Structure 1
């Protein structure tokens, strides 16, 4: 009996929403909101809504494509099928580069937060232990991962909801004045920053091959995930601004911790630290899920070594991709992430979603779920935000892309 060729469809709507929320609710709400507050004042909340709206357009394009092509790989697969191999490979390669480095950053973040709760081992050791445990969890099957992810996400959501209700009575309306000190330009810059806080919803499309009834489940999951994320982000941000103001938010790398420390609710600071820890775990779990499925898709098309297309006979997961992903993240955690690659991640994300929207525009009318205006708005949003990127970030992104094509050319040449 040979190896299975496909993954099993085990993820329900609840699981898919959990994966999306687990991928979104992480560094965005715990870190990036403070940075955005520094560039736009209280009006960064408007930027938060605009970023969520653009993310929704991109998400609907992804959902529409995933419903028709429910295979692992997401935009990598759509680029190949609807555009050409160059577009497909660009999406897949930049996804791997950005998500692997982001996973290293998230693992380091988890270690730092968890050390505050249990200062026994060093933060680095906690980071490595987390990566090893989550890699093993991914290895033993998607059903178990789905349940673990829902547990992690539930804890994160409960801690944030507790923070919201704890802070309502401590809101000072004067903290919202002046509302937009830098005007429209500040809101626009905040929108570009905060867009990246929403991008985890793409994980649902990347895992399309493991979702039950993908044509119905994926569009519903994407919409529910984004609506919940926007609602949660805006609610938490209103509390944060109202309690401590945007200046304190901007001065801190962990603004929600400052909010918690300012409240009199018993144990609120510890609860928020727990929420931050589980948020980082949720993102890390979803990163390993998404990266290994992208490796599977690229292995199938020979854009990565063929070993990555193997699926475990018992657990029905891309076990080689999972193990390699875990090893790379551990190494990045130990040596620290490469600043060069981290900065280029902004370019790679916009490139990825631009290709998604172009692919959605290429779909035939009978295969579309949504009006053509959705991918047009999504593409316009991506291009508008890309204009705000520093030229050095774009150059770094292009260099990483060229390295990818050199690797692909070399790999294909070896196979001849």
Structure 2
């Protein structure tokens, strides 16, 4: 979760919410907490690859499991493209598409070689990103302090805008799903997965809150909304232009870390769906040496590499948020069947509200893509039963 999201979502969220950015962040955090709690309870009960694809199937029925899996795959594929383009725009803006494709192909190879190597690379990347963010916060606060006036909510913060910002900011919180999708590759998954989800969400929330407060205090909501590289712009505005290249490197590394985990998670859900013949059975093959679903990983990598040349980053974030919120709505509905229903109800309602508060284009395209997946399931079922 502590990856490229914090480097890219603050500006569009500020454009939607204005001075209500921090309120939007708080709402996104509450919904993320509900989703994480529901996911942790379900992961402890069903420690298998696939995440909510498995939970929805087991608790609600095959259609809902399939819909969750479809939403996850298409939503996170869009996220992969967004992260790959982020690498390109920060590392080499004039050749962003070529860099994006190269990053996808390189990380696909890492994933094919086994989850252990991917986990090690992730630890290194997270350490680098956290170090860069700490340096940024210390530099800005040390130079200008915190301006409380820029943190107060003014009349420009409408309810619809704040909810839209929360939906966009949810993009940066959604990484804990990838913990659950690795259920078959974790030691003592019934204990480890719920603990990992809870700890990861807590760390991410603290990091995001500190960075958001710092950047908003430095730039103000209007300047933040128009920023193309908000954290780099905030560092420059604080009188530290020499740190801008460090921020750019940190953002590129963060995007690589996000992309690494995204490809890993999407391929595992693809594996689970292929096993159940909702996707081509050939994608369910596991490498005999590296114990990885290498065909699923290669297929995901190729699709992402193609899409990376065609999408707009902000549009990809909106579409991804919509599809992933559908995924978590099904997770909460699944957790509702386990009892202790207050958190799943809040999470389900929150997911639905934030999904339809997103920009209209994201809602329309997201609804259409999810509907196409559902229609394909129904048609396939009728053909099979004929």
TM-score, normalization: structure 1? 0.85
Q: Out of 396-405 and 308-317, give the one that drifted further.
A: 396-405
Name the residue aligned to 2:59: 82
TM alignment of 1:117-156, pairs within 5 A: 122-156=95-129
Question: Does the CA contact (< 8 Å) of 1:175 and 1:246 recur in 2?
Answer: no
Partners of 1:239 and 1:221 in 2: how far apart? Answer: 27
Answer yes or no: is 1:397 the counterpart of 2:372: no
Residue 208 of structure 1 deviates from its aligned partner by 1.6
Q: What residue in structure 2 maps to residue 161 of structure 1?
A: 134
CA distance 1:266–1:181, change in 2 (3 Å): same
Structure 1 residue 359, shift from structure 2 partner: 0.6
Q: Are the aligned partners of 2:80 and 2:262 in contact in 1 as well (CA < 8 Å)?
A: yes
Contact 1:296 1:309 in 2 (8 A): yes
Output the aligned Cα RMSD: 2.5
Conserved in 2, the CA contact under 8 Å of 1:43 and 1:187? yes
CA distance in 1, matches of 2:6, 2:214: 12
- Tell me the CA shift for residue 415 of structure 1: 11
The alpha carbon displacement at 1:389 in A equals 4.3
Contact 2:146–2:214 (8 Å) recurs in 1: no
Measure the CA separation in 2 of the matches of 1:167 and 1:340: 30
Q: Distance in 2 between matches of 1:343 and 1:329?
A: 17
Asked if residue 272 in structure 1 is aligned to residue 265 in structure 2, the reply is: no
Mean alpha-carbon deviation: is it higher for 173-182 or for 337-346? 337-346
Q: Label 1:123 to 1:327 Cα distance change in 2 as closer, same or farther (>3 A).
A: same
Verify the 8 A CA contact 2:80 2:304 in the aligned structure 1: yes
* 1:176-234 CA distance string (max 9 Å, x none): 16533335614434323322221121111111221211111111111111111111111
Q: Counterparts of 1:266 and 1:403 in 2: how far apart (Å)?
A: 48
2:345 aligned to which of 376, 399, 413: 376
Aligned to 2:145: 171
Q: Is the 8 A contact 1:175 1:244 kept in 2?
A: no
Q: Alignment partner of 1:127: what SS?
A: helix
From 81, 86, 99, give the equivalent of 1:109.
86
Query: Contact (CA 8 Å) 1:71, 1:208: kept in 2 or not?
Result: yes
Deviation at 1:293, TM superposition (A): 0.3
Change (3 A) 1:103 1:177: closer
For the pair 1:255 / 2:230, whether they are aligned, the reply is yes
Structure 1 residue aligned with 2:41: 64
The change in CA–CA distance for 1:395 and 1:166 in structure 2 (over 3 A counts) is closer
1:258–1:229: structure 2 CA closer, same or farther, 3 Å change rule? same
Look up the match of 2:3: 25
CA distance in 1, matches of 2:53, 2:134: 36
Residue ranges of structure 2 left out of the alignment (5+ in a row): none
Cα gap change, 1:233 to 1:338, in 2 (>3 Å): closer
Q: In structure 2, how many angstroms separate the alpha carbons of the residues matched to 1:252 and 1:339?
A: 13
Aligned to 2:192: 217
Asked if structure 1 preserves the Cα contact closer than 8 Å seen for 2:235 and 2:241, the reply is no
1:16 matched residue in structure 2: none
How far 1:301 moved relative to its partner? 0.7
User: Secondary structure of 2:9's partner?
Assistant: helix
Of 17, 22, 34, 1:40 maps to 17
Following the alignment from structure 1 to structure 2, what is the Cα–Cα distance between the partners of residues 250 and 52? 20
**Whole-Å separation in 2 of the counterparts to 1:374 and 1:400:** 28
TM-superposed CA distance for 1:33, in Å, is: 1.2
266, 283, 286: which one pairs with 1:308?
283
Shift of 1:50: 2.2
What is the alpha-carbon distance in structure 2 between the residues aligned to residue 182 and residue 227 of structure 1? 30
TM-score, with length taken from structure 2: 0.91
My pick for the range that moved more, 182-191 or 215-224, is: 182-191
Among 332, 335, 338, which residue is 1:360 paired with? 335
Matched, 1:332 2:326: no
Indicate how the Cα distance of structure 1 residues 344 and 270 shifts in structure 2: closer, same or farther if over 3 A, else same: closer
Q: Find the aligned partners of 2:48 and 2:194 in 1 and give their Cα distance.
A: 15
